[in-house]
Amino acid sequence: MKRALQDYKSAIKPIWCPGCGDYGIVNSVQKALVTLDIAPENIVAVSGIGCSGRMPTYVDFNTMHTTHGRALTFATGIKLAKPSLNVIAVMGDGDATAIGGNHFIHAARRNLDLTAIIINNQIYGMTGGQASPTTPYGANSTTSPFSNIEHAFSIAELAVAAGASFVARGTVYHAVQLDKLIEKGIRKNGFSVVEVMSNCHVQFGRRNKMGDPVTMLNWFKEHAVSKDNGSSMPPDSLDDNFTIGVLADLDKPDYIAEYRKIRQKAKRK
Ligand SMILES: Cc1ncc(C[n+]2csc(CCOP(=O)(O)OP(=O)(O)O)c2C)c(N)n1
């Protein structure tokens, strides 16, 4: 019998702020799993720390809530120990690209078959609104109260440059597309990155004249440009547009396939 959304949901009620983009993202992950019809016992969700890090609490399959910036290291260990598992690492922008930045680029380069879902709310949400590597130039945060003078870097373009097999960017406004992007990311054999532009209207929006979810969703609607209509545009300032869609989809052997070949070679010696 085909599984339903309910088969991937835990009984625990989310405690994210009302209207947080994370609600839509966990829903998209669950919808993708229904489409792919993967048995819950064959899926693992690993997270770091942050609002995004709470996601494994709300799903009903194998989960690990690990340490800030280290979701990919735990995910790597799980996948290497049991390659048959589908391993999804859920991280925030701070988690994945500040403290976990080095792990992120090397995971992309290594090309182990993992799916990294990076929730880019452009701020450190859980700890009170400090600037992250993706806080746009000119934006306000608790650590840049008179506007951010650093420039944001682009998660998806960084992943492409680091060699990830599949890279996509979506937003919580473009919910149907997001279901598909996550589904494609999980389906892909190799390191997949799905960056999701999400609203933290409480910590980011409030300080940047977008204090409610609807205003933030409209900002995504107005600034997202389909990959089919333009070249890749990473967001840097709040006036910039950014590209959504699939940015890379490469065919190359994943780490475990390569590792097995090497083992055969070593055995023949
Ligand atoms: C080693 C370590 N450093 C710092 C922290 C404090 N900390 C917890 S969550 C967080 C930032 C969360 O921001 P982000 O990763 O963007 O996720 P969000 O809460 O926005 O989803 C920080 C700095 C920690 N828990 N552990």
120: confidence class by pLDDT, cuts 50, 70, 90: very high
Mean pLDDT, residues 97-120 taken together: 98
Mean pLDDT, residues 86-91 taken together: 98
Look at residue 39 in the predicted model and tell me its pLDDT. 97
Q: Whose CA is nearest to atom 3 of ligand 1?
A: 68
Phi, psi of 203 (to 5 degrees): -90, -40
Verify whether ligand 1 is closer than 6 Å to residue 68 (CB atom): yes
Q: Whose CA is nearest to atom 24 of ligand 1?
A: 68
What does pLDDT average to over the chain? 95
Q: What percent of the chain has pLDDT above 90?
A: 92
CA of 251 relative to ligand 1 center, distance in Å = 34
24: confidence class by pLDDT, cuts 50, 70, 90: very high
CA of 264 relative to ligand 1 center, distance in Å = 42
DSSP-derived pairing of the beta strands 166-171 and 115-120: unpaired
Look at residue 1 in the predicted model and tell me its pLDDT. 72
Look at residue 234 in the predicted model and tell me its pLDDT. 63
| pTM greater than 0.85 (yes/no) | yes
Look at residue 241 in the predicted model and tell me its pLDDT. 87
Verify whether ligand 1 is closer than 6 Å to residue 93 (CB atom): yes
pLDDT digits 0-9 by tens, 214-249: 999 999 999 999 988 766 566 667 778 899 999 999
Asked whether the CA dihedral 238, 240, 244, 246 is positive or negative, the reply is: negative
Look at residue 229 in the predicted model and tell me its pLDDT. 73
14: confidence class by pLDDT, cuts 50, 70, 90: very high
Is pLDDT above 70 for 37? yes
Spatial separation of the C-alpha atoms in residues 208 and 238, rounded to whole Å: 9
Look at residue 233 in the predicted model and tell me its pLDDT. 63
Q: What would the two tokens of residue 263 be?
A: 């083992």
181: confidence class by pLDDT, cuts 50, 70, 90: very high
Nearest to 191 by CA among 169, 167, 161, 170: 167
108: confidence class by pLDDT, cuts 50, 70, 90: very high
SS3 100: coil
